[in-house]
Structure 1
Amino acid sequence: MYGGDQRGDLGLLEGEEREKALRRERRAQKLKRALPALCALVLVLVIALVHLFVPLSSLLPAYKLTARAEGELRVHFLDVGQGDCTVIEFPSGDVVLIDAGDGSFFNRIHTVRYLKALAPAHLTMILTHADADHYGGFESLVQAFGADAFYLPAAGEDTPEYAALLDAVERSGAETGVMTRYGVIADRSGAYLACISPRSLDEEEGNEASSVFYLRYEGVGVMLAGDISSAVERRLVRENALLEGIFDCGGFRVRPEETEILKVSHHGSAYSSCTEWLSLLSPEAAVVSCGAGNAFSHPSPEALGRISAVGAEIYRTDELGDVIVGIHEGGYTLSYSGQR
């Protein structure tokens, strides 16, 4: 009887040891799976802490981008989530940055590394309108690179973040102004960027006051429609029908019907991209800047349907990452980076 009890006790002890060993193994496996995420978190915290004392741009390496071909103009539609950021790289090496995303941590890293890679000879920044998903990233970019010129909207926003942007622009020493219709930025290559809306400084507010630009080079037209709604789109269609050349800026020809590439209005909202506007432009390609799983359900099925109906191929930053258009003698090419 005694011997039998002893063997039972030994078996119980062995079972407990096996259970302890299994628990240790499970903990080790969990730690192994969690280690990459923990390392990434530590890296982010270290970068964030260092950034309190050292400019972010000095910590980050430039991206290794494909070199621009001689005489080529490139338009980079950056993947900044639910926001807008368009970089125009002129053949001269001058760069125009239109909007800068929402300024969230990883989007700031992305835009800083991108601009670092382009190394602009002359940098102009333009804010189309005072929405945080368009201006949030500008403060860090102005601090990192400065700006030769900065165009602000007539109507700002009463927030600490917008005030910080204005302060950064003032401290940078950039030449400032407001871009309205007939404003133009011309490159010595013959490329030009012309503003066709808003018509005046006090005409509208909010998305309706968003700047709309027409870019042309080597016979290729690019329409950058900001965040305008169908109401502004229809007004532009009516104005275009009233008088040929109504949007011409001095000697710079602006013909909306000569648009090959469209940056879709307001991230593909259902209340933009009306049929009349799309029929006038009749683009071959349409780029939608939007964030994956965003709270606004952009782009809407209705807008996508109307865009597809005019025969445009759709390129979405939430699916393709950065979308890059290269314009050169003989036409254009379109590529994308893949999701970050």
Structure 2
Amino acid sequence: MPTDKKRKRTDDEPAPPVRRSPRKSAEEARKAQKEQAERDAEAKRLLFLEELRSEIRRRKPDPKGDSGDGNLYVSFVEVGQGDFAVLSTPGGKVILFDGGSLGTDHESIEGTKIPNSDADLIKRMRDVLADTKFLGQKNLIDILILSHPDGDHYNKLRKVLGNDYTIGKCYHSDSFGQYTSDKTSEFLFPRIGLTQQVVKNHDPGKVNGEVTLQGKPVQKKDTETNITVDRLDDDGGILIVDEGAACQISIIAAGVAHEYTNDGSDDTNRGSVVTLVQAHGQKLLMMGDATKNTEQFLLNTAKDRITGLDIVQIAHHGSVLTSSSQKFVNVVNPIEAIASSGRKLVKHRHPSKEVILRYVAKLKERPDIDKHVTYIWPPTGEGKVEAYESTKSVFSTGSRGTITRVFKASR
């Protein structure tokens, strides 16, 4: 007899097929294709990286140089309006800080362009990199730090590195795709083992932010997994090199976006990666184009760590408009201050007279510092460049040339 009741499915009967809309099925197919394409691209990139490393090893033997002798070495390379510094740790790790310059980097004192200046610049950058204090004949750069995506901080890396070097890790502010000048990101990506966008902008009690690598929160040291780097250090920085008591390197600011003060900066400069290097009881602070807002973040979150530095890289090439506030200079109170800037470059007017004099006023006379000239500029648009004589340890690479310093191991 007919009935309206729905018959129950028995346990051994197959479940009816789930009906999917054509639109949902198409979306899932596209997602699967995209994920597969990403896996294929990553596999292709890693294969290229391994093949390039194998080729380099065949071309360049890998004997040890002087790096790893227990000392820390750092060179601030003369690149005009730009930034390029090379560091080797006591244990022999090699770190690049930026690597760019604008086209005016090699003007003569009179301001006229010197023929082949770009070729000369690239040669000098490569020569420092290949110095035995750094890579020597080695071909692996352990870490590249890209402070921010302004071309004068990275646009020469393609020519400097070529197919002679590969990179273990890259820490950068902003997305990696922002480093477009001279197709740098496209060139670098297959040559880097791991890229990490770094954000370190949490200011407890004042500004909600984050401490992340590639979007993932940075964790404390995990004794179970023995993770020693890419973790929080004891003071809340992001530890990227850990050689025990000999050397520790931490990122202490990156991606700072909050406006503590109106310094006229943009998010790009304000978000510069700031790196603290500690070795053999001495401290070096690498500032990139950090601004007064970045400085205030550091004063709020890392004041004790940056007090009484041995060396500070003067932020933003010595600009007074955006950087080097008096209170920041008072706190860092360094033994030595170094600006990466050009020589008599009218377009940029770096370093600023006011910034140089702020540091000069804080520093003591040193018998090991000879009288030297630094070309400094009055405020933008006012007056001509001045030749400033001093016996204080404040330098500009444009006036002094490449500057190399060492933190020696105690014997």
TM-score with structure 1 length normalisation?
0.68
**Alpha-carbon distance in 1 for matches of 2:191, 2:179:** 20
In structure 2, the residue matched to 1:298 is 350
**Counterpart of 1:193 in structure 2: which amino acid?**
I
Instruction: Give the 3-state SS of the residue equivalent to 1:81 in structure 2.
Output: coil
**Counterpart of 1:198 in structure 2: which amino acid?**
A
CA distances 1:59-113 after superposition (whole Å, capped 9, x unpaired): xxxxxxx955831110111111111111111122210001002274332222122
In structure 2, the residue matched to 1:74 is 73
Instruction: Give the 3-state SS of the residue equivalent to 2:276 in structure 1.
Output: strand
**Alpha-carbon distance in 2 for matches of 1:124, 1:180:** 17
In structure 2, the residue matched to 1:91 is 90
Check whether the contact 1:146–1:172 (CA below 8 A) recurs between aligned residues: yes
Check whether the contact 2:74–2:404 (CA below 8 A) recurs between aligned residues: yes
**Alpha-carbon distance in 1 for matches of 2:310, 2:101:** 28
2:296 pairs with 225, 234, 244, which one? 234
**Alpha-carbon distance in 2 for matches of 1:161, 1:142:** 15
**Alpha-carbon distance in 2 for matches of 1:147, 1:69:** 18
Instruction: Give the 3-state SS of the residue equivalent to 2:342 in structure 1.
Output: coil
In structure 1, the residue matched to 2:362 is 310
**Alpha-carbon distance in 1 for matches of 2:188, 2:258:** 22
CA distances 1:269-316 after superposition (whole Å, capped 9, x unpaired): 112111110111110100111111122111111111111121162022
Choose between structure 1 and 2: higher helix proportion. 1
Instruction: Please state if 1:184 is matched with 2:239.
Output: yes
Identity among equivalent positions (%) equals 23
Instruction: Please state if 1:174 is matched with 2:193.
Output: yes
**Counterpart of 1:124 in structure 2: which amino acid?**
I
1:122 Cα shift?
A: 4.5
1:156 Cα shift?
A: 5.8
Instruction: Please state if 1:147 is matched with 2:167.
Output: yes
Instruction: Give the 3-state SS of the residue equivalent to 2:199 in structure 1.
Output: coil
Instruction: Give the 3-state SS of the residue equivalent to 1:222 in structure 2.
Output: strand
Shift in alpha-carbon separation, 1:285–1:148, aligned structure 2, 3 A:
same
Check whether the contact 1:123–1:149 (CA below 8 A) recurs between aligned residues: yes
Instruction: Please state if 1:105 is matched with 2:119.
Output: yes
**Alpha-carbon distance in 2 for matches of 1:69, 1:234:** 35
1:158 Cα shift?
A: 5.8
- Uncovered stretches (5+) of structure 1, i.e. residues with no partner: 1-56, 58-65, 245-254, 332-340
In structure 2, the residue matched to 1:265 is 315
**Alpha-carbon distance in 2 for matches of 1:201, 1:111:** 32
Check whether the contact 1:198–1:211 (CA below 8 A) recurs between aligned residues: yes
1:235 Cα shift?
A: 3.0
Check whether the contact 1:212–1:225 (CA below 8 A) recurs between aligned residues: yes
In structure 2, the residue matched to 1:287 is 338
Shift in alpha-carbon separation, 1:158–1:283, aligned structure 2, 3 A:
closer
**Alpha-carbon distance in 2 for matches of 1:165, 1:202:** 28
**Counterpart of 1:168 in structure 2: which amino acid?**
F
CA distances 1:39-69 after superposition (whole Å, capped 9, x unpaired): xxxxxxxxxxxxxxxxxx9xxxxxxxx9558
TM-score with structure 2 length normalisation?
0.57
Check whether the contact 1:267–1:289 (CA below 8 A) recurs between aligned residues: yes
**Alpha-carbon distance in 2 for matches of 1:310, 1:188:** 32
Check whether the contact 2:69–2:92 (CA below 8 A) recurs between aligned residues: no
Which stretch of structure 1 is more off in the superposition, 220-229 or 187-196?
187-196
**Counterpart of 2:272 in structure 1: which amino acid?**
S
Check whether the contact 2:309–2:332 (CA below 8 A) recurs between aligned residues: yes
**Alpha-carbon distance in 2 for matches of 1:160, 1:257:** 36
**Alpha-carbon distance in 1 for matches of 2:68, 2:294:** 36
1:240 Cα shift?
A: 4.0
- Uncovered stretches (5+) of structure 2, i.e. residues with no partner: 1-55, 57-64, 103-117, 201-236, 260-265, 364-391
Q: State the number of aligned residues.
A: 255
Instruction: Please state if 1:127 is matched with 2:207.
Output: no
> Cα RMSD over matched residues?
2.9
**Counterpart of 2:248 in structure 1: which amino acid?**
Y
2:157 pairs with 130, 135, 138, which one? 138
In structure 2, the residue matched to 1:220 is 282
Shift in alpha-carbon separation, 1:201–1:116, aligned structure 2, 3 A:
farther
Check whether the contact 1:85–1:99 (CA below 8 A) recurs between aligned residues: yes
**Counterpart of 1:267 in structure 2: which amino acid?**
H
Which stretch of structure 1 is more off in the superposition, 139-148 or 276-285?
139-148
**Alpha-carbon distance in 1 for matches of 2:179, 2:84:** 21
Instruction: Please state if 1:275 is matched with 2:274.
Output: no
Shift in alpha-carbon separation, 1:201–1:270, aligned structure 2, 3 A:
closer
1:329 Cα shift?
A: 2.8
2:407 pairs with 296, 317, 327, which one? 327
1:155 Cα shift?
A: 4.3
**Alpha-carbon distance in 2 for matches of 1:304, 1:213:** 22
